[in-house]
Amino acid sequence: MKIAVSMWSYFQSWKAGKLDLAGFIHGAKKAGADGVELLDFFYNEPDKLRVEEFDHEYLEARRAEIIEALSETGLPVPIFSVANNFAKTDPELRELAYRKIQFGVTEATKYGADVVRVFAGDVAEGITFDQAYNWIIEGLARASEFAAQMDIKLALENHGTLAGKGDQVCKIIQDVRDAAGNDALGANPDTGNFLLVNQPSHEAIQIVARYANMVHFKDFVREPAGHEGFAYEALDGKRYVGMAVGEGEVKLEACISALKDAGFNGWLSVEYEGEEDPMTAVPRSIANARKFL
């Protein structure tokens, strides 16, 4: 396994205007990563991912910025991630979700990435899992057909409640594979997110590891008393905050063992979501991740 780092790990720095796409890539190199995970979010036009609406001059500038930084650091891009949501009653919004994946697949080919992280969608007022399920399968099957044509694998993240638990992820993947007639869709087990649906991460990964195309290596800890910052709330009301990898309560060594037992030898992408400065937390996360390997 190799260790990448997701640009989401540097969200705080990016939001504060301290880091751009090129800065992230150079920072990842300095932090000790073997590769980088890029996200559509950081192209700064997340609401313009209908391909025909893109400012192509802007897009080419972003690509050039990325390619130059990759050349300077020698880092590969194994993963490109998009944030889509098929749990929408509006057909136009479901079409936008497909276009986001289509964009991600196309963008992945620009950098030599062979995996695109995707979502299913999440609950919203008036939408249940049963109502959204057909939309999710239809959308991901269509995306799988496009990805297969481009020789790209998709990786469904356990995110939210519609696809939060291990068995939910597995069922969606298998139903999408049956509908698409290919195995382009696999899993992105996120070692932190399982806690938010009250499932021990290492136990969930035992369920989904056979489908893994990549892994988000993340750590959470129960919210400490008196904490006033951001916290994620789990289904049972428990609250969690992000920590540097290896410094929370996720049983990461057991997660790695489950992945190895399933024959996974792909990329672990560090995704840090804590309040500590990522410039110190991310290098430590990468160093700790290496200890687990």
Block means of pLDDT (10 residues each) for the chain, 293 residues, are 98 94 97 97 62 69 94 98 94 93 95 98 84 95 98 97 95 98 98 97 97 98 93 96 97 97 97 97 98 93
Give, in degrees to the nearest 5, the angle at Cα 206 between 204 and 208. Answer: 70
Residue 59: the pLDDT is 85
The residue range of the domain holding 168 is 2-292
CB contact at 8 A, 184 and 144: yes
DSSP one-letter code for 190: B
CB contact at 8 A, 5 and 33: yes
Residue 206: the pLDDT is 97
Distance CA 68, CA 128 (A): 45
Distance CA 204, CA 199 (A): 7
HSE-up of residue 5 (Cα within 13 Å, Cβ side):
33
Residue 54: the pLDDT is 59
Q: What is the CATH number of the domain that holds 35?
A: 3.20.20.150
Token pair of 11 as six digits = 């969200």
Residue 187: the pLDDT is 98
Residue 117: the pLDDT is 98
What's the structural domain count of the chain?
A: 1
Residue 111: the pLDDT is 97
Output the pTM of the full model.
0.95
